[in-house]
Amino acid sequence: MTELPAIIAYQGVPGAYSHLSCRKAHPELQAQACNTFADAMFMVDSGKARLAMIPLENSTAGRVEEIYRLMPKTKLHIVGEHFEPVNHCLLAPKGTAIESIVTVASHPQALAQCDGHINELGIQPIASLDTAGAASELSKNQTPGHAAIASSLAAELYDLEVIRENFQDKSGNTTRFMILARDSHMPTLDKNIRYMTSIMFTVRNMPAALYKALGGFSTNSVNMLKLESYMASDTMTATSFHLDVEGHPEQKAMRYALQELDFFAKDVRIMGTYPWHPFRSEDDHIIE
């Protein structure tokens, strides 16, 4: 097999939280910025990148709707997950005093998450397309009194000073990413490792189909961690589901549960099985 390029693709501009996640999860790979999620996923699908780092959900903003529409159209596999705590930093040109800051630019969501501290300092918020983009623009046009809210990585890349870390009003805001690969990487079952399995399926057209499809997980004591519904077609006639469960397909309980799912559902596709991320065990964090 031809060795794929040592590249991990992400959507956004350098310094984005997706870029930071690439560095933390796979520092051995070169992070490649892409304009869209589809572009990042296509890089993997076409063999131009080994992996893609794609956000699936955020503890504050909820799910990334576009990903659920894109995944059924690809043949990519989930080979891992990564949880990235969002640490918004107030950035400004080096030597700037916090008292001199008049305006601050960032993505509207980041501005909302820092609204209390922005108001406390009497700063005027300005909406930007993204956090790292606001930092990039600030580095090019260092208008006196202007700042940006972005990651510490953005400060490093664009030679800006971190005026204040943890600028968000509430801590705990976290984004869950899935790591995608072109080929399946089903791990060998190890009884000492906890696993996650992600599944996509469509229910059959019968009464209580979803209840019956999921019943096998309950009767076999398989822990279901996430269930998301989305429309799989433009006709809005078929509802599909994304399901995350704790377990490995080779475990006895999972085998029985998957057999029952196959009976009551159609188009069942195991997107991937991967190790349980340590973040899930920290004070029982679970993004629902």
Length of the chain: 288
**Burial class for 160, CB neighbours closer than 10 Å (0-12, 13-18, 19+):** buried
Give all strands (DSSP E) within the chain, no chain letters. 7-11, 30-34, 51-58, 62-63, 77-85, 89-92, 103-106, 124-127, 146-150, 161-164, 174-181, 195-203, 224-231, 239-246, 265-275
**Tell me, what amino acid is at 45?**
D
Residue 175 falls in the annotated catalytic set: yes
Q: Which of 45, 40, 47 is nearest to 21 (CA)?
A: 40
Vertex 44, ends 108 and 155: CA angle to 5°? 40
- Tokens for 15, please give them: 């310094």
How far is CA 209 from each of CA 37, 103, 254, 265, 282, rounded to the nearest angstrom? 32, 53, 19, 7, 35
The values of phi and psi at residue 115, to 5°, are: -55, -40
The one catalytic residue among 175, 197, 202, 273: 175
> Which is catalytic among the residues 42, 177, 217, 264?
177
Pairing of strands 146-150, 103-106: parallel
Which are the contacts of 191, defined by CB distance < 8 A and separation ≥ 6? none
**Would you please indicate which residues are annotated as catalytic (active-site) residues?**
175, 177
